[in-house]
Amino acid sequence: MRTILAAKPSITQREIDYVTDAVTTGWGAQCYDYLNRFSECLREYFDVPHVWPTSSCHGALHIGLKALGVGPGDEVIVPDLTWTGSVFPISWLGATPVFVDALESSWCISPASIIAAITPRTRAIVIVHLYGNLCDMDAIMEIGRAHGIPVIEDAAEAVGSEYHGRKAGSIGDMGVFSMHGTKTLTSGEGGALLCNRDDLVESIATIENQGRKPGKHIIFWVDEIGLKYKLSNIQAALGLGQFERAGELVGAKRKIFDWYQTLLADWDDIALNPQPEGCLNSYWQPTIMFGESWGMTEVRRNALVTAVTSVGVGIRPLFYPVSKLPMYEPAPQNHVTYALHGRGINLPNYFDMTQDDVAYVLATVRERLGPTE
Q: What is the pLDDT along the chain (373 residues), one digit of tens a residue?
A: 799 999 999 999 999 999 999 999 999 999 999 999 999 999 999 999 999 999 999 999 999 999 999 999 999 999 999 999 999 999 999 999 999 999 999 999 999 999 999 999 999 999 999 999 999 999 999 999 999 999 999 999 999 999 999 999 999 999 999 999 999 999 999 999 999 999 999 999 999 999 999 888 888 999 999 999 999 999 999 999 999 999 999 999 999 999 999 999 999 999 999 999 999 999 999 999 999 999 999 999 999 999 999 999 999 999 999 999 999 999 999 999 999 999 999 999 999 999 999 999 999 999 999 765 4
Is 65 in contact with 93 (CB distance < 8 Å)? yes
CATH code linked to domain 13-243? 3.40.640.10
Domain ranges of the chain: 13-243, 246-369
Nearest to 91 by CA among 127, 58, 135: 58
In angstroms, the CA 192 to CA 53 distance is 4
Q: What is the pLDDT of residues 213-231, one digit of tens each?
A: 988 888 899 999 999 999 9
How much is the pTM?
Answer: 0.95
pLDDT at 74 (0 to 100)? 98
The architecture CATH gives domain 246-369: Alpha-Beta Complex (3.90)
Tens-digit pLDDT profile for residues 254-303: 999 999 999 999 999 999 999 999 999 999 999 999 999 999 999 999 99
What is the CB neighbour count within 10 angstroms for residue 249? 21
CA-to-CA distance for 347 and 131, rounded, in angstroms? 11
Amino acid of residue 199: D
| pLDDT tens by residue, 320-332 | 999 999 999 999 9
Q: What are residue 124's DSSP bridge partners?
A: 76
Q: For helices 233-243 and 13-25, what crossing angle results, to 10°?
A: 160
Chain centre to alpha carbon of residue 194: 13
Angle between helices 233-243 and 246-263 (to 10 degrees): 60
- Is 54 in a helix, a strand, or coil? strand
Determine the pLDDT at residue 217. 80
- CA atoms of 53 and 271, how far apart (whole Å): 35
**246-369 shares the fold of 13-243:** no
